[in-house]
Structure 1
Amino acid sequence: MDTSAMLQLNEQQQAAAQAHRSAAVISSAGTGKTAMLTQRYLNHVLGGLSPLQVVAVTFTEAAAHELRGRVRAALRHSPLTTPAALAELELSPIGTIHSLCARICREHPEEAEVPASFQILDQAAAAIFAAEQREGLLASLPHDLFLGEAGIPLGQAERILPHLLEAPHLTAEALAVMAQPWNELREAWEEAAATLRTAARARLCNDEWHHSAALLRGLTCSDASDALYPQWQTIVAQLEAIERAADPGEAVAALAEARLSGGGKAANWSAPPAEVRAACKFLRDAAEKARKDGLIDLRIGPDDEQLYAKVATLRSIFERASATMAGIKRRAGVLDFADLELGALRALEHEGVREWYRQRWQVLLLDEAQDINRTQAVILERLATLAPDNLVCAVGDEKQAIYGFRGADVEEFRRFRDEVVVGRLGGQVIDLDQTYRQ
């Protein structure tokens, strides 16, 4: 049922809010994605589904609270709303990915391989808990792991241990990949690095980039002695290298430091200085972001080979420490966010669990999809494809992907959009580009 008249939506938002097919919605900041998600939720419920059948995943608890509040207010004003729908809304699965994982773990603890009763450690509490156990974990490891050419010095082991245990599932996968012979691994890494460099350059040199670059390339200067002239020539040369050179890393680093400074005369130039400086700043900021990302200059070097020589030791440290930490958490009855994700993933490997949710959940709404990590993406994919007629709406914006330091990977959003929503569910991609922010 189309209830788009209930909320004031523009044409793009109305198209994304339709509940009869899956959609991947590209939503820039200020384009009204929350209003669209609210309307889509309403369309599902007023179209006959129970709120208990609609899963909505948000990035924060505050966002979940806002979405539930908006839906509640709209339902109360609709003559089609039943008392049962309002009651079920309060119990409906609207929350963060970790609250969803916790729900799965609590409903299926045996399959998730977690305690039947547990407390959840948020990121701060988990960091404190891990720090308190670190000395004991290191002391429990055999001393020979820290000695010899294949050993990892104790100080270094102490520094890397938190990173190994931060996402144990992904660490185990990475170490398994590194078990193959070095020549084969290096070849695979080189190929992967080349793919990542190409993708990074494509993201850097987007339409906005080409627009600003064209402005700088199209400039003319009537006086070659102008103070800005050599700086401008250098920047244009860097642009050419970034767009065409086989190895653009050095040019990216140089452009990230580029400045148009000095006393150039406006009368000498074919475009207003303010416009030129704005274009230069955009290109410089984009290059700085690409440099920090590191992918555009990714290379396999001696450090990687030295790391490979210590893989067996690294694996032993990880396996022993993670097993010890798991036992400590089990006895304490606590799980951190990574444990919840892994538990939900394990549970969803069981056909009985998948059938349980296949009967209960019909719709998945996903907000801030650009901030999911690999494990979360697999969980969401399994939920999204429980049944052939499941409906999914994934909302994200690659430009707002800022949580890479937490393990988020915008490539997972792209894959989920292209392979799951569009490829497997036959959904469409809809752009929300009409902003309401000043």
Structure 2
Amino acid sequence: MKHDIVDADARAQALDVTRSWIVQAPAGSGKTELLTQRYLALLARVSQPEDVLAITFTRKAAAEMRRRILNALDCARSQPCPALAHQRQTWELAKKVLVQDDRCEWALRDSPSRLRIQTIDSLCASLVRQMPVTAGLGAVPATTTEPDPLYREAARATLVRLESGHNGCASVRCLLGHLDNNVMRTETMVALMLAKRDQWLRHVADPGDFRIGRESLEAVLRSLVKETLLQARSLLVQSPFVDLLESVQYAARNCQKADQDSPIRHCLGLRDWPEAAYEALPQWQGLATLLLTDKDQWRATVSVQVGFPAKTAGKDAAQKQEFDLRKQAFLELLSELRGNESMRLALASIRRVPAPCYQDDQWQVLEALFEVLRIAVAELKLIFQAQGQADFSEVMMASVVALGHPDNPSDLALQLDHRIQHLLVDEFQDTSITQFGLFEKLVAGWQSDDGRTLFVVGDPMQSIYRFREAEVGLFLRARRHGIGDVPLHPLQLSVNFRAVSGLVDWFNQTFKQVFPSTDNITTGAIRYAMADALGQDQADIQIHPFIGADGDQEPARVLAIIDRIRHIEPTASIAILVRSRTHLVPITTAMDAHGVEWHGVDIERLAQRSVVRDLRSLLHALLNLDDRLSWLSILRAPWCGIGLADLLAITTKAGNGVLWNVLGHGVTCEGLSPHARAALARCSQ
């Protein structure tokens, strides 16, 4: 059956190698195939294969892309043109590469390493190796994958300054005082900050940098407050604000009369919704307190604590009636707002927004923290040099330094500018700010009409590297403003080749409600992109929720579902997906107990299998006759199977001595069951 691909035009445009693109490619949309085709299309036009550089974030992704390209070249070399459209297109592109290969004598078949497909970490390491002095690392260090002990050592060396009286001891003293003189906690926090220094070092490295001045940082806070308030105001002005404002005024007056220390009092005299300015933040927080509970949910009831006295608190019949009418009117307004999830989230965010200004004591601690962090980074560099090691962040930042400044590029940057004609970046949604800066330097000086192109692909809906400072907002920023001087034309892939239409429809209905309704560069909010199914095959989506203690019943339900599927379709393949390996333990245990065979890769550690544990215990016992725990383990193992009561009798007989000395006399050991006597007699032979 032939199906029309609704995003075929976007896929065709992505192969226009005269333009630069940013492609949003959701899971299952054929992103890797598109990258492969783009890479082949570029290879067919360049004079040297090294002119095309593809960057991925994992070695697995780099290996997969290299494998696909080499397979495409092999197929074009030895096989006829395929019948399927996408395979035919890849074959035709690879055929053109082979023509260029012969014309330019690249010998890609014998030298596949000329294909430049690297991870971001590999690229940074290669840049540092070419310019070690300019990068500031000197001799190229080994990259460690376990830098935590080095962070700890640097943090400890920083705090020691308090005792030595070296520069910075006053800042260390201030920071320690702020953290209740808890040295271990302070050391841990400094070490954690060192692990993320690529996020903040560029801001605090220079003590005189105006960007870390009090006015600059408070301006950032005020901007954040304003953006949060703007979003809330745009939603609230659409509500029945006249009646709601009357209720707000009523509640504020009552809170003031009762002399309650409530943020609602700041709403007194409010005639319209507050302006989206930081000066009005107290009024906005009063509104949030009135409308939401402490758990940021719409209020279902109101009381005197939020300015609505109970009916029984009225002094006379008229006042009692007023109290009741006011309360009921406000509850009706709340019921109208209850379905407005966007407004609830906006009001909840107002509660968490930071104060727009620092208190003097807060600023003193912040300045001390800046100096302590600068000292900690210096200590870490000394440790790196002494041990000849560096972490990925150090290599990354050094590579950025090695390229110089866009207005004053280094020799390496000029060399790369001449060598790299086309740059492709995979999984762009996982780009950090430092990596984004690296890409900006790699394309510095590029012009839209000089024949060089930038092609980035990613899915901001599935960013996974927040722990590495991946910023989804960078994807939105690149889509809107480009990278460096290179404008990027946006493309959207929508067809999902992996899932049937029933699943795709369910994804669209479900995740559209989960994702925000609008994009936001500052917060990294990304709206859901609707997907299209290739075919019309249906799927049955069933949800079996388990709440609280009911979760213990999950393995039994999973087994029941497996049995039902096998009864209907005995040859069906069944997959079980979980959040982490730990969630699989009760399920796999239940399947083992019921004789359900299953296969998993890297799910169950070999060392944790019972047979392996028993064999290890046997080995330890034979190597060390005094290893009581191992001897007890092998006596409990299936080949012996002695019960706990019999083990107690044996250990009582042995006392503090070696179990081996009494095992040979087990048949005469008092208190042993017949089964234990027989088992010991059998094993002793």
Q: TM-score, normalised by structure 2?
A: 0.47
Query: Does 2:471 correspond to 1:409?
Result: yes
Question: Please, which of 124, 127, 131 is the counterpart of residue 152 of structure 2?
Answer: 131
Query: C-alpha distance in 2, partners of 1:50/1:377?
Result: 26
Q: Residues of 2 paired with 1:386 and 1:393: CA distance?
A: 16
Q: Check the 8 A contact 1:370/1:412 in 2, yes or no.
A: yes
| Shift in alpha-carbon separation, 1:391–1:138, aligned structure 2, 3 A | same
Alignment of 1:109 with 2:137, yes or no, is: no
Cross-structure match for 2:195 = 166
2:421 counterpart residue number: 362
2:486 to 422, 425, 428: 425
Code of the residue aligned with 1:425 in structure 2: it is V
Q: Which residue of 2 aligns with 1:276?
A: none
**8 A contact 1:121–1:336 mirrored in 2:** yes
C-alpha displacement at 1:162, in angstroms?
2.1
SS at match of 2:113: helix
Q: Distance in 1 between matches of 2:119 and 2:343?
A: 33
- Cα 1:201–1:381 change in 2 (3 A) is farther
Q: Distance in 2 between matches of 1:16 and 1:201?
A: 40
Contact 1:27 1:432 in 2 (8 A): yes
CA distance, structure 1, for counterparts of residue 109 and residue 161 of structure 2: 53
The answer to whether the Cα contact below 8 Å between 1:150 and 1:310 also exists between their aligned partners in 2 is: no
> How many angstroms apart in 2 are the aligned matches of 1:348 and 1:296?
43
Change (3 A) 1:160 1:85: same
Q: Which residue does the alignment assign to 1:435?
A: 496
Cα distance, 1:43 vs structure 2: 0.4
Alignment of 1:171-182 (within 5 A): 171-175=200-204, 176=209, 179-182=212-215
Query: Does the 8 A contact of 1:377 with 1:416 survive in 2?
Result: no
2:61 counterpart residue number: 63
Q: Does 1:382 align with 2:441?
A: yes
Whole-Å separation in 2 of the counterparts to 1:430 and 1:192: 30
Question: Does the alignment pair 1:347 with 2:402?
Answer: yes
Percent identity over paired residues: 24
Q: Distance in 1 between matches of 2:292 and 2:201?
A: 34
Give 2:21's aligned residue: 23
Larger radius of gyration: 2
Structure 1 residues 324 and 148: alpha-carbon distance in aligned structure 2, compared to 1, 3 A threshold: closer
Q: How far apart, CA to CA, are the structure 1 residues paired with 2:16 and 2:157? A: 55
CA-based RMSD of the aligned residues comes to: 4.0
**3-state DSSP of counterpart to 2:17:** coil
Which residue in the other structure is 2:70 paired with? 72
Q: Which residue of 1 aligns with 2:462?
A: 400
1:368–1:397 Cα contact (<8 Å) kept: yes
Match of 1:224?
none
Selected match of 2:381 from 326, 330, 349 = 326
Q: CA deviation at 1:149?
A: 8.5
Task: Give, in angstroms, the shift of residue 13 of structure 1.
Answer: 2.1
| Cα distance in structure 1, aligned partners of 2:344 and 2:389 | 40
Count the aligned residue pairs: 368
Cα distance, 1:196–1:373 mapped onto 2, change above 3 Å = farther
Say if 1:138 and 1:432 are closer, same or farther in 2 by CA, change over 3 A. Answer: same
Q: Does the residue aligned with 2:28 lie in a helix, a strand or coil?
A: coil
C-alpha change, 1:257 and 1:417, in structure 2 (3 Å) is same
Higher normalized contact order (CA 8 Å, seq sep 6+, divided by chain length): 1
Partners of 2:347 and 2:28 lie apart in 1 by 28
Q: Match for residue 372 of structure 2?
A: 317
Q: CA deviation at 1:249?
A: 7.1
How much has 1:167 moved relative to structure 2?
A: 3.7
**Alignment CA distance shift 1:347-1:308 (3 Å):** same
CA contact (8 A) 1:367 1:395 kept: yes
Describe the shift of the 1:252–1:404 C-alpha distance in structure 2 as closer, same or farther (beyond 3 A).
farther
Q: 1:169: how far off?
A: 4.6
The whole-number CA distance in structure 2 between the counterparts of 1:308 and 1:110 is: 37
For 1:347 and 1:196, the matched residues in 2 are separated by 39
**Are the counterparts in 2 of residues 253 and 288 from structure 1 also a CA contact under 8 Å?**
no
Q: Which runs of 5+ in 2 are unaligned?
A: 1-6, 77-94, 236-272, 277-282, 299-338, 500-685
8 A Cα contact 1:50 1:85, kept in partner: no
CA distance in 1, matches of 2:12, 2:422: 18
Aligned partners of 2:232, 2:74: CA distance in 1, in Å? Answer: 47
Which residue identity does 2:173 align to in structure 1? L
| Structure 2 residue 219 is the aligned partner of structure 1 residue 187 | yes
> Contact (CA 8 Å) 1:52, 1:89: kept in 2 or not?
no
Q: Is the 8 A contact 1:64 1:94 kept in 2?
A: yes
Post-superposition CA distance 1:364-407 (Å, at most 9, x none): 11111111111111111111234323200111222122332321
Question: Contact (CA 8 Å) 1:57, 1:96: kept in 2 or not?
Answer: yes
Alpha-carbon deviation of 1:159? 3.2
Inter-partner Cα distance in structure 2 for 1:163 and 1:253: 34
The secondary structure found in structure 1 opposite 2:424 is: strand
Q: From the two aligned structures, give the one with the greater helix fraction.
A: 1
Distance 1:344 1:200, change over 3 A: farther
Q: Which residue of 2 aligns with 1:232?
A: none
* Change in 2 beyond 3 A, CA 1:361/1:198: farther
Q: Structure 1 pair 425/313, CA: closer, same or farther in 2 (3 Å)?
A: closer
Question: Deviation at 1:160?
Answer: 2.3
Q: 1:111 offset after TM fit, Å?
A: 1.3
